[in-house]
Amino acid sequence: MALELRPNCEFCDRDLPPEATNARICTCGCTFRTTCVETELLNVCPNCGGGFTPRPIRPATEWRPGLSVAKRPPSTHRRQLRFEPTDISDLSARLRDIPPEQR
């Protein structure tokens, strides 16, 4: 199963196309812009509490049969956070000084 490439930042709702180099994901696939991760979320996923890593780029060219952005297209379902801003900032403040691998 291929990684679901979500089309937007779940925090600010800005577009994140499949080739975006400023997309960050957590282990659950939650997707955010680098700016939001660094300035608003403080490297704490507001959904699961994990940390973030750069989202991989799915190749545009089909180098191997069936494996490309054309053959495995990104999701069109936009996601939005279900938590209030104060809940998000409280969680980020509590977990930001704990390294993601120790959360």
Residue pLDDT, tens place only, 53-93? 999 999 999 999 999 999 999 999 999 999 999 999 999 99
When pLDDT is cut at 50, 70 and 90, the band that residue 2 belongs to is confident
Residue 1 has pLDDT above 90, yes or no: no
State the pairing for strand pair 53-54/23-25: antiparallel
Q: Give the model confidence (pLDDT) of 19-59 as tens digits.
A: 999 999 999 999 999 999 999 999 999 999 999 999 999 99
Domain boundary assignment for the chain: 23-98
The answer to whether the predicted template modeling score (pTM) of the entire model surpasses 0.85 is: yes
CB 34 within 8 A of CB 26: no
